[in-house]
Chain A
């Protein structure tokens, strides 16, 4: 088991005069690179470094469990994960941890909510793109687009009703032998949410977990006088040549912010960029936006919505967001224009 190192120690010391009397709480930060193929950062308040390191370790251990269960590329000894389910498509049902069944049920609900725009049964199409992208990034000169026929052939094997979940037996079976699950659009946010809920129960009540930029805030932070103030969470500027790293700063308390953008994971064919968010209808990268950001309570839902809204037109996306309670969205269009859902601006720090 990996031991988390508290890389950064005390940033600020505050005196938190709460109901339980005068108690000094310090702000700490830790981070690690091992999980979900990204950087995880934890920020929060604890009475001392030892306590904070314990919280960080608990968060690490829980996230690591999700990381292994939701992995579609690697095997882990003694673990049946999503890859095991994929490997057994059309062969046999796989007995899995309840955490996998919970994720799949959550994902199926999210897909229904978003008019089939975040389909976890889309893995066979996404894996073609993944392979071509990987080759194209490793060796830009031999970068190619996936053949349309191949994409269309695989798109026939994406019917989510062929994912058979037996809750009593705790098994998952893909009836279509050519089907694959890909939970990449949802697993990180879902795992972050579950881990946040778990660590709150352990007493970590003022903090923030970011798994690769999927940000879940827990309670508030404190200003120098010890008063509660919301966390300040920036939204990445798609223009990475800018010295301005963010386009907006949001003030969040117990809320999640997830941004789906096309500025990081892409490859280039004949001078044109092809990113990783694939429209289920065209089977090609969605071309409308540079990024879509979602604010809502549940980090798993924020993750699922950011991808699905990315695949919708602005009008469709707005209609969906306005129909959801306590859920807001911010679009950066291809030409750089900003669009907002009606309540989004209340979160923007003035």
Chain B
């Protein structure tokens, strides 16, 4: 009987430890996701801020007619369309890591990831 009690207590103890572990793990992941934002600025002003883990299509329409379209899908962000002359923003690689950016220079649009997966490069030469 005593032995059994001990075992049950052990089980409960293990259960609690596991629960705490799961909660903290969940908390960690929730926190991490919460920190992963996609921030879109136009001429230095925030146009829209959204979550990296939320699939989304964002149309950026400026008063002067300038147009860009951004897609967020499965943690990656890219520019699908723009009516800028050079289309460099549309050609740009998909971004995913912390502080990566896509810039449309003619439209002064900057799409930036803040707080995503840690970036292993400080900058890219091109």
Contacts and interface: CB of A to CB of B under 8 A. Distances in A.
Interface of A: 5, 7-8, 11, 29, 31, 33, 37-39, 41, 43, 137-138, 208, 210, 212-215, 221, 231-237, 240-246, 249, 257-259, 261, 263-265, 293
Contacts of A235: 124-126
B66 interface: no
Contacts of B114: 8
B123 A41 contact: yes
Contacts of A37: 105
Contacts of B96: 243
A8 B99 contact: yes
A249 B121 CA distance: 7
B86 interface: yes
Given A33-B103, A38-B105, A39-B105, A245 B123 contact: no
Nearest to B115: A11
Contacts of A213: 124-126
Nearest to A41: B123
B61 interface: no
Interface in B80-124: 85-86, 88, 91-96, 98-101, 103, 105, 108, 110, 112, 114, 120-124
Contact of A232 (B85, B112, B120): B120
13 contacts: A7-B44, A37-B105, A39-B103, A43-B123, A210-B123, A212-B126, A231-B123, A233-B122, A236-B125, A240-B92, A245-B124, A264-B91, A264-B126
Contact of B99 (A11, A244, A249, A293): A11
B83 to A, nearest CB: 11
B68 to A, nearest CB: 14
A233 to B, nearest CB: 6
Nearest to B96: A243
Where chain B touches its partner, the secondary structure class is loop
B86 A137 contact: yes
Count class of interface residues, chain B: 20 to 34
Nearest to B124: A234
Given A8-B114, A208-B123, A214-B125, A243 B93 contact: yes
Nearest to A295: B125
A7 to B, nearest CB: 7
B88 to A, nearest CB: 6
A246 B103 contact: no
Given A7-B41, A11-B99, A215 B123 contact: yes
Nearest to B107: A33
Given A245-B95, A263-B91, 13 more contacts: A33-B110, A213-B125, A234-B121, A234-B124, A235-B124, A235-B125, A236-B126, A242-B93, A243-B76, A246-B121, A246-B124, A258-B125, A264-B86
A221 B122 contact: yes
Nearest to A249: B121
A202 to B, nearest CB: 21
A43 B122 contact: yes
B122 A33 contact: no
Interface string B41-84: 10010000000000000000000000000000000100000000
A234 B44 contact: no
Contacts of B98: 11
Given A38-B105, A39-B105, A245 B99 contact: no
Given A8-B114, A33-B108, A243-B96, A233 B121 contact: yes
Q: What are the 10 closest A-B residue pairs judged by CB atoms, nearest first? A: A213-B126, A236-B126, A234-B121, A234-B124, A257-B125, A245-B93, A259-B125, A215-B125, A232-B121, A210-B123
A237 to B, nearest CB: 7
A179 B110 CA distance: 38
